[in-house]
Amino acid sequence: MKNRPIVFLLLLLLTSQCSQKEATVAPKIATLIGTWKLVQPDSSYAVTLQFAYDSANPPHDITPFLASGKASVNTYTLRLFATLDGVLVAENLASTQVAGSPEAMSFEQAYFTNLKAAVRYEVTTNDQLRLYHGGAQPHVMVYERMK
């Protein structure tokens, strides 16, 4: 009889843990998931950005993404964090170290600088994404969803 309160508390603890809802991604943020192709600023390079939900780190107020893509020469990875109000933060950008033409390398470095400075996102339609980045003047990179 003395063990009843302990057993009851253990059962209560176990059932309360089972009833917790699994974290879900808000529909506005879920529209980011997929592969996007850079269309502005105009580029002769096939630059891509792919958003994949970071399932190891469920969202709370901020949704984490594992992002990757192809720049003018190298492939890259980074972590992106998005909020419902359009805030976007990029960190830990890493890329392969393949050499290319001076023009391609210059474009790639500018792209990486802009991507790391991303501060806001906007999905204007289901097929268009705008990433705003800071600097001396605010700028925008426009992507279209790849199908």
CA distance 54 to 51: 9
Cβ atoms 134, 120 nearer than 8 A: no
Task: Classify residue 134: in a domain, yes or no.
Answer: yes
Q: Rounded to an integer, what is the distance from CA 14 to the centroid of its chain?
A: 34
Q: How much is the pTM?
A: 0.79
Task: Classify residue 10: in a domain, yes or no.
Answer: no
Q: What CATH number is associated with residue 39?
A: 2.40.128.270
Containing domain of residue 58, as a range? 23-145
The tens digit of pLDDT for each residue in 18-40 reads 444 455 777 888 899 999 999 99
Can you give the pLDDT at residue 135? 65
Task: Classify residue 34: in a domain, yes or no.
Answer: yes
The tens digit of pLDDT for each residue in 133-143 reads 986 666 999 99
SS3 120: strand
DSSP one-letter code for 31: T
Question: For the chain, what is the domain count?
Answer: 1
Q: Rounded to an integer, what is the distance from CA 53 to the centroid of its chain?
A: 7
Task: Classify residue 55: in a domain, yes or no.
Answer: yes
Task: Classify residue 7: in a domain, yes or no.
Answer: no
CA distance 59 to 40: 30
